[in-house]
């Protein structure tokens, strides 16, 4: 895979995880966005706030300054003070917009450059991979909390239970092709 293909692929992956998060948030009633299983667990609102803080810190001035900004208040990200869907969605979009702006400004020639997170050097590729894994981890938490809250009314984010055989049959009935697996999950969202 050449460097530009990598950037295109990773952008598609970030879009995919963003879509899984928003599809979960959209299934939740307003009063459940701040629900916590216990004092040690995080609500969907808190996870969104933490992701926002991380995204704003990591992706602002991405190539030129440390990814852990002096102005970031990480511990405060875990204080649940987002109380409305609107507040949550503003943070959600602001964080993702910061990420995509930085990602879209990168060229293939940037991938071997060194960036720092807490003074630890990463190639740009390593820094992108680190964040992709971090955000997918938290999106998984959001989906898990959503499934707990919604129960039997949960709308699957991928292949629904007991539908794998039908899904595979449909996939294998087509000719082999080269496409990103997320295309079927992101109709109309490829260009943000």
List, for residues 42-81, the tens digit of each pLDDT value: 999 999 999 999 999 999 999 999 999 999 999 999 998 9
- Per-residue pLDDT of 108-126, as tens digits, reads 999 999 999 999 999 999 9
SS3 20: helix
Q: Token pair 């109709």 is at which residue?
A: 187
Check pLDDT > 90 for residue 173: no
Give just the sign of the alpha carbon dihedral 56, 132, 20, 147. Answer: negative
Mean pLDDT of 22-48: 96
Query: What residues contact 173, with CB distance under 8 A and at least 6 apart?
Result: none
Query: What residues contact 150, with CB distance under 8 A and at least 6 apart?
Result: 27, 28
Query: What residues contact 16, with CB distance under 8 A and at least 6 apart?
Result: 182, 185, 186
Q: Which residues pair with 161 in a beta bridge?
A: none
Q: Please give the pLDDT value at position 168.
A: 73
For residue 26, give both structure tokens: 């959209």
Q: Which domains does the chain have, with CATH numbers?
A: 3-185 (1.20.120.450)
- Measured CA to CA in angstroms, residue 177 lies from 24, 156, 158, 171, 181 at distances of 30, 25, 20, 11, 11
Report percent pLDDT > 90 for the chain.
78
């Amino acid at each position: 895979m050449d460097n530009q293909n990598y950037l295109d692929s990773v952008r598609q992956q970030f879009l995919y995880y963003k879509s899984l998060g928003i599809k979960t948030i959209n299934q939740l009633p307003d009063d459940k966005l701040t629900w916590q299983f216990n004092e040690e667990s995080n609500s969907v609102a808190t996870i969104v706030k933490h992701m926002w803080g991380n995204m704003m810190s990591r992706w602002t001035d991405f190539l030129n300054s440390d990814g852990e900004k002096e102005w970031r208040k990480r511990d405060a990200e875990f204080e649940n003070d987002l109380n409305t869907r609107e507040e949550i969605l503003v943070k959600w979009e602001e964080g993702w917009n910061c990420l995509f702006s930085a990602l879209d400004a990168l060229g293939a020639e940037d991938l071997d450059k060194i960036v720092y997170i807490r003074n630890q050097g990463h190639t740009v590729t390593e820094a992108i991979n680190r964040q992709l894994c971090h955000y997918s981890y938290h999106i998984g938490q959001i989906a898990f909390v959503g499934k707990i809250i919604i129960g039997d009314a949960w709308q699957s984010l991928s292949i629904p239970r007991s539908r794998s055989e039908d899904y595979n049959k449909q996939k294998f009935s087509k000719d082999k092709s080269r496409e990103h697996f997320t295309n079927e999950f992101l109709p109309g969202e490829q260009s943000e």
